[in-house]
Amino acid sequence: MQDIGISAKLTRRELICAAAIGMLDVQFAFAKPRAPSRIALINGVPTLIVDGAPLLVAGAQCDIWRSTPQNAATVAFFDRYRQLNATTVSVGIPWSKVELSPDVYDFSFVDRFIHEAQIRGLKLVLNLFNTNICGKILESGGNPYYPPRYIIDSPDQYQRMVLTSEYKYDAGGPPMCPNDPRTLDRERRYVTALTAHLRDYDRDRTVVLLQLDNEFYYMQWTGSQPTSDERLSIRCLCRFCNEKWTKGSYPTSRDFMFQSFADYAKALSDAMHETYPVPIYLNDPWWPEMAVPIFLDTCPNIAMIGMDGVFDPQEPNQLSRAQIGRNLAFAAENPTEQPKTRFNLDVLPYYTLIGHLGIGNLLWECGPPHTVIDDPDAARRYGAALYPIKHAQSVIAYARGTDRLGGWYALRDFDGQRPTQMFVREGTRTRIAEGASVSLSVQDLTIDVENSLAGIVAIRPEGDVVIATSAARLRISGRSFKSASTGKFVGGSWLKDAPVDFSADGAVLDLPGPVVVLLML
């Protein structure tokens, strides 16, 4: 099961030179750039569209202390996730790495990641770490700085939050105040310049999503924490916030702070969308449920609130709690230092994609010793889960929201480490089945499943059946098939690997490893 090779990216100058010596046509060198990615409905299901085709986000975030270093370890991360069948990776981009002084930008930090992803056939999410990273502007010890030093070193010009409290603030906080128009002006200039650069430089549209800031927050205390009641009364007390507080009407100080963050995010996301309309999302690990609609109602150009802390598919969890209003299901950071995340590596992508019909799932790769790519067993299980998703993603995407989709994944006892229940999707309906094996119905098919942790059945409009699973023993009845083969889909085209033995009616398939199978009528 070899991946398809992707040619290295050529610069504009290299394309022109190649054309001049007859290697390429000049018209190709100046080809119109591809359309940016977008969220669209397929059979009523929100789906990320890239290069005119569905992309199911599946991979990981490379984030070593909130700043992806440009070193051999990061190159190895890209290599390993390509080998693990990822479709997408994400990296952290501190503002300070790009704006070296006021209005002086060096985009080479961003461009290198685009290049590393593109030559491996990966799509890229940029996590823009700007003025509020989990309630901080820098990590403890000063590395990295998120806003540029000219902002951090000028508190008289750029207001940081003023929080009077008995609680000790994290060494990296407090963050910049969202109600200071001067800071907003600087960040809006930066994100406008960055999105303009992506529009003009990333002609192959490697970057498919932008995360704005990271986890807008303000109470990143160390040691003892405020009680729930105390949190309602804590807000920034700078002159900008006092003026806004006096003019407005807010139920609590907490509501005031989240509305202020939302107003700030609106100004930035509007400017970004106007310049280059790549989907933008915010990230949320711990916001109260009231905060999600504040952001979504305030910011029309924020596509979704991606969720942290999705350790397992047991409900309710962070992802299901955040499905409020127009929000989309996106498990943006599943932290790999969490034992339950590592335990559920083989089912988490299926939970997001067919359990919630979401846009995808990304791990948050912590440092050693719990990095998935440094753990052979964890890497094997995650790679086996991603292989059938990557190589059948277009077929899966077009079947979601219809009666042509079926699927399953295990709900296991974490302590006992064995399947006790199975989640089952049959078209637009879902149910929980007891035990480690399951029978499901998709149109006129009955599929009996054994020895499997996850899988998907998709019936193509012409009637052929696609099986995508990391491993399973299946008995499929209801139709007679003429042939079966393993392979992969590239877009809508089937690339056959090898024939599969089966009985024409009542097909029995023993699939011991990750595979995509096409059963043809």
Predicted confidence (pLDDT) per residue in 303-335, tens digit = 999 998 899 999 988 899 999 999 999 999 999
Q: Do 133 and 66 touch, CB atoms closer than 8 A?
A: yes
* 223: pLDDT strictly greater than 90: no
Q: Tell me, what's the pLDDT at 66?
A: 64
Residue 407: phi and psi, rounded to 5, are -175, 170
| Average of per-residue pLDDT across 181-202 | 98
pLDDT in tens, 4-39: 222 334 344 433 333 333 333 333 344 677 899 999
Question: Strand 360-365 relative to strand 330-335: parallel, antiparallel, unpaired?
Answer: parallel
Packing angle between helix 253-275 and helix 291-298, nearest 10 degrees?
40
pLDDT in tens, 411-440: 998 887 777 899 999 999 999 999 999 999
> What is the percent of the chain where pLDDT is above 70?
92
449: left (phi over 0), alpha (psi -120 to 50) or beta: beta
Q: Do 432 and 438 touch, CB atoms closer than 8 A?
A: no
Domain residue ranges in the chain: 33-390, 405-520
* 252: pLDDT strictly greater than 90: yes
CA-to-CA distance for 452 and 438, rounded, in angstroms?
Answer: 9
Helix, strand, coil shares of the chain, percent, nearest 5, are 30, 30, 40
CA-to-CA distance for 109 and 93, rounded, in angstroms?
Answer: 8
Q: Give the pLDDT band (50/70/90) at residue 1.
A: very low
Write down the residue that tokens 């907490």 correspond to: 254
Q: Tell me, what's the pLDDT at 368?
A: 77
3-state secondary structure 434-487: ECCCEEEEECCEEEEEECCCEEEEEECCCCCEEEEECCEEEEEEEEECCEEEEE
> What is the percent of the chain where pLDDT is above 90?
71
- Count CA atoms within 13 Å of residue 63 on its CB side: 29
Tokens representing residue 214 in the block: 């990271």
Q: Tell me, what's the pLDDT at 33?
A: 79
Helix (H), strand (E) at residue 310: none
Q: Which CATH superfamily is domain 33-390 in?
A: Glycosidases (3.20.20.80)
Q: Do 54 and 393 touch, CB atoms closer than 8 A?
A: yes
Q: Tell me, what's the pLDDT at 449?
A: 96
| Average of per-residue pLDDT across 368-385 | 91
Q: Which of 110-114, 184-188, 209-213, 284-288 has the lowest mean pLDDT?
A: 284-288
Q: Do 331 and 301 touch, CB atoms closer than 8 A?
A: no
| Average of per-residue pLDDT across 42-68 | 90
